[in-house]
A and B are shown apart, each in its own frame.
Chain A
Amino acid sequence: DILMTQSPPSLSASIGDRVTITCRAGHSIGKFLNWFQQKPGKAPQLLIYSVSNLADGVPSRFTGSGSGSGADFTLTISSLQPEDFATYYCQQSYSRPWTFGQGTEVEI
């Protein structure tokens, strides 16, 4: 299985802050990387697919990027809004079983 490692596990931020979350795959996974947002008691929602494509309805303050290695990825929130406080997960779809990162909790 491909191990997905996120950092940091949690972070504290304020409204308007720029926030960056990183995800590292156990080996190169190319563009097969998705990001999800999960709020307490709710199902995860697809945020970004294939490294950098915004899912329907996702605000443009969210951006995803990847390094040339194909193993390092970043989720950036350019200006944190109240509704963005949640836990964020990365997920690889390079090979089955699909695997997820351990999550990054964004708190006030």
Chain B
Amino acid sequence: QMQLQESGPGLVKPSQTLSLTCTVSGGSMTSGTYYWTWIRQAAGKRLEWIGRIHFAGSTDYNPSLKSRVTISVDTSKKQFSLHLTSVTAADTAVYYCARDYGEGPDYWGQGVRVTVSS
């Protein structure tokens, strides 16, 4: 059974970089049809797709975040990562990693709450 687990700091200071890692288990990261995705959910708001990466390295980002987002993958460690620069309070949210089967996320991590505050 595919499982994903987010890890990273729960508190980030404004203007700094938010960095999260997702560790994948129970399946391969290198199957050609899957992407590895980050999604977030701020309190009381709808889910927001941040972006995704294919194991070969190609990426797609949400234009609203593209200037600040980098998603990378390390298949040897079965991990992929999110880096979001110049964070503000508006980036406070629960961050989820997920597998994207090509037309949306199917398996999700449990989520990690990140608060941006000094």
Contact = CB atoms under 8 A, between A and B. Distances in A.
With most chain A CB atoms within 10 A of its CB, the pick from B61, B104, B111 is: B104
Contacts of A99: 49
Chain A, interface size category, equals: 20 to 34
Contacts, number: 55
A42 B61 CA distance: 25
A74 interface: no
Interface residues of B, number: 23
B14 interface: no
A53 B25 CA distance: 26
Contact of A100 (B46, B51, B102, B109): B46
With most chain B CB atoms within 10 A of its CB, the pick from A42, A43, A45, A91 is: A43
A50 B108 contact: no
A57 to B, nearest CB: 11
B103 A34 contact: yes
Interface in A39-71: 42-46, 49-50, 55
Interface string B60-90: 1111100000000000000000000000000
Given A91-B105, A103-B46, 11 more contacts: A1-B63, A43-B98, A44-B108, A49-B104, A50-B103, A96-B60, A96-B62, A97-B63, A98-B49, A98-B104, A102-B46
Interface of B: 46-49, 51, 60-64, 96, 98, 101-111
